[in-house]
Amino acid sequence: MSIVIAKNLTKKYGDFVAVDRISFEIEKGEIYGLLGPNGAGKTTTIKMLTGLTPITEGDAVIAGISVKKKPREVKKRIGWISSEVILDDELTAWENLEIQAKLLGVKDWQERADQLLEYFGIKEFKNRKAGKFSTGMRKKLEVSMALLHSPEIIFMDEPTIGLDVNTRASLWNLIRQINKDYQVTILLTTHYMEEADMLCNRISIINRGKIIAQGTPEELKEKYGGDVIEIELKEAKDGVLSDLESVGKIIKSEDKKIAIKVGNAEEVLLKVIGIVGQNNIKSLKINKSSLDTVFLNLTGGSLEENEEFDARRFYAMLRRARR
């Protein structure tokens, strides 16, 4: 059963088309990823789905309800975690939950709030101000708030942005856990191939407002990926390149350094070694197909080129949080 059906969802700001007729369906219980670089339209898509910004064209049906026709009804059924700060630092964890309950109109929220704090292992800090929470604890509190009214689906806009490696890994676990234990469907956005690959059952890759590929991480890797074998030779040798062309696509040949894109590296490795000569190899490296190669193949650009913007946004977020 599809819990989200987005059909030709479009957002225009004046003449500018931020999201351009995107369609996708999310099955109940899935972790679904919207993957794309800065400005791709991920946040705008989430804002339309959660009723935070009007839909220009198209519609989305969430848990059977049209977002366009009944945005308020939809809001009751969904949870939302933004990439911006949503906690009030001056209030305790418990008071933050209380405000959330009032906003959502949940009565008898205390028992559920206690259970959630217990589940996330932060119950003993319930009377501590959120401003004194560590990053990981803040995330747990934010997720508790999103789960407070037992939503069927949670929207997470870049849940791991700005987190250090360890906190990011534990948040991945947490996302998997709540997906299982609370049977909540999750739609998350991310810049990170690795993240989408690790977490998501299915993914839409979005670029400049358009979906450019859809499928499971495996399908996308199979279709648009490919392993890359990088070899550095001791001595350049005539005829090597043309022989290697029978194995795969040469994507780099600089002096003694060669990179070949192949289907499955392990299957052709012996042949490649035979061609270049076993004793002529200075180094050899296999890069297995990843969503990075998928993005590269689809757009000719790498996601990582956008990292600089990430940092800027992160610091802007920090400054806002301190105010």
Ligand X SMILES: Nc1ncnc2c1ncn2[C@@H]1O[C@H](COP(=O)(O)OP(=O)(O)OP(=O)(O)O)[C@@H](O)[C@H]1O
Q: Which stretches of the chain bind ligand X, using CB under 6 A?
A: 13, 16, 18, 36, 38-44, 191
**H or E segment and range at residue 25:** strand 16-27
Cβ closer to ligand X: 34 or 61?
34
Can you name the residues that pair with 213 across neighbouring β-strands? 205
> Beta-carbon neighbour count of residue 54 at 10 Å?
11
CB of 184 to Mg ion, least distance (A): 21
Residue 315: contacted member of ligand X, Mg ion, none (CB under 5 to 8 Å, by partner type)? none
Nearest approach in angstroms of CB 212 to ligand X is 13
The residue with tokens 């008898």 is 108
The partner in contact with residue 139, picked from ligand X, Mg ion, none with C-beta cut-offs of 5 to 8 angstroms by kind, is none
Q: Quote the least distance from Cβ 18 to ligand X, whole Å.
A: 3
Shortest distance, position 154 Cβ to ligand X, whole Å:
17
Residue 298 — φ and ψ, nearest 5°?
-80, -35
Interface segment toward Mg ion; rule CB under 5 A; list 37-45, 66-74, 174-182, 246-254: 37-45
Burial 11-35 (b: 16+ CB within 10 A, else e): beeeeebbbbebebbbeebbbbbbb
Positions in 137-176 near Mg ion (CB under 5 A): none
As given in the structure block, the two tokens for residue 285 are: 């490296």
CA-CA-CA-CA torsion sign (151, 192, 198, 160): negative
Instruction: Report the residue number, 13 or 315, with the smaller CB distance to ligand X.
Output: 13
Question: Binding partner of residue 51 among Mg ion, ligand X, none, CB under 5 to 8 Å per kind?
Answer: none
* Cβ-based nearer residue to ligand X, 16 or 278: 16
- In the sheet that holds 227-233, the strands lie side by side as 249-254, 257-262, 227-233, 281-287
Task: Name which of 10 and 43 has its Cβ closer to Mg ion.
Answer: 43
Residue ranges in 104-133 that form contacts with Mg ion under rule CB under 5 A:
none
Computed from CA positions of residues 110, 111, 117, 121, in that sequence, does the dihedral angle turn out positive or negative? Answer: positive
Q: Which is nearer to ligand X, 42 or 140 (CB)?
A: 42
Instruction: Check the CA dihedral 160-163-165-168 and report its sign.
Output: negative
Report what 39 binds from Mg ion, ligand X, none; CB cut-off 5-8 Å by kind.
ligand X
Residue position matching structure tokens 């499928």 = 215
Length of the chain: 323
Say if residues 73 and 65 touch (Cβ distance below 8 Å). Answer: yes
Q: Which residue, among 160, 165, 207, 174, has the nearest Cα to 40 in the 3D structure?
A: 207
| 44 forms part of the interface with Mg ion (CB under 5 A) | no
Environment class of 214 (CB within 10 Å of its CB; exposed 0-12, middle 13-18, buried 19+): middle
Q: How many residues bind Mg ion (CB under 5 A)?
A: 2
**Which is nearer to Mg ion, 84 or 222 (by Cβ)?**
84
Residue 41's binding partner among Mg ion, ligand X, none (Cβ under 5 to 8 angstroms by kind) is ligand X
Least distance to Mg ion, CB of residue 34, Å: 10
Task: Please list, in sequence order, all residues whose beta carbon lies within 8 angstroms of the beta carbon of residue 321, skipping any fewer than 6 positions away.
Answer: 85, 89
The entry of Mg ion, ligand X, none that residue 15 binds, CB within 5 to 8 Å by partner kind: none
- Does 43 engage in binding with Mg ion (CB under 5 A)? yes
Give the range of 39-47, 64-72, 148-156, 207-215 binding Mg ion by CB under 5 A. 39-47
Task: For Cα atoms 275, 279, 282, give the angle at the middle one, nearest 5 degrees.
Answer: 95
Q: How far is the CB of 42 from Mg ion (least distance, A)?
A: 5
Residues that bind Mg ion (CB under 5 A): 42-43
